[in-house]
Amino acid sequence: MTAPIRSADWILDLEEPVSTLSLSPDGTRVVVLGIEGNGWVVDVVLGAILQRFKGHEGGGFQTRWNPVKDCFATSGQDGVIRIWDAIQCTVLESFSTGSAWGEQLAWSPNGECLAAGAGKELTLWRAQSGVVHRLRDQQSTITALAWRHDGSRIASACYGRVTFFDPITGQNSESLPWKSSLLSLAISPDQRWVVAGTQEMSVQIWPTPFIEGEELAMSGYAAKVRELAWHHSSRYLATGGGDEIMVWDCGGRGPAGSTPRILEGHADRLSALAYQHRGHLLASGGQDGSVIFWNAGKSSQALRQIRLSSTVTALAWTPDDRRVLAGLQDGRLAAATPPG
Whether the predicted pLDDT of 109 surpasses 90: yes
Residue 129 predicted with pLDDT over 90: yes
* CB neighbours of residue 147 within 10 Å: 19
pLDDT tens-digit map of 82-96: 999 999 999 999 999
236 pLDDT higher than 90? yes
pLDDT at 213 over 90: no
The strands making up 5-6's β-sheet, listed across from edge to edge, are 5-6, 304-307, 290-294, 282-286, 270-275
Contact 286, 331 (CB under 8 A): no
Q: How far apart are CA 242 and CA 104, in angstroms?
A: 23
Residues 220 and 179: beta-carbon distance below 8 Å: no
Mean pLDDT across the chain: 95
Q: How confident is the model at residue 70 (pLDDT cuts 50, 70, 90)?
A: very high
Quickly state the pLDDT bin for 1 (edges 50, 70, 90): low
Residue 272 contacts residue 310 (beta carbons within 8 Å): no
Start-end of H helices in 39-188: none
pLDDT band at 137 (very low <50, low <70, confident <90, very high): low
Give me the mean pLDDT over the 10-20 stretch.
98
Mean pLDDT of 230-259: 95
Segment 228-252 shows an average pLDDT of 97
Contact of 20 with 40, CB cutoff 8 Å: no
Q: What's the pLDDT tens digit per position in 163-177?
A: 999 999 999 989 999
Looking at the predicted structure, is the pLDDT value of residue 119 above 70? yes
Q: By mean pLDDT, which of 63-72, 118-127, 130-139, 315-324 is the weakest? A: 130-139
In 240-321, the DSSP E strands lie at 244-249, 261-264, 270-275, 282-286, 290-294, 304-307, 312-317
Q: Which candidate, 122, 86, 84, places its Cα nearest to that of 102?
A: 122
Least Cα distance to 228 among 294, 272, 191 occurs for 272
List of domains in the chain: 19-136 (2.130.10.10)
Per-residue pLDDT, 278: 97
pLDDT attached to residue 139: 82
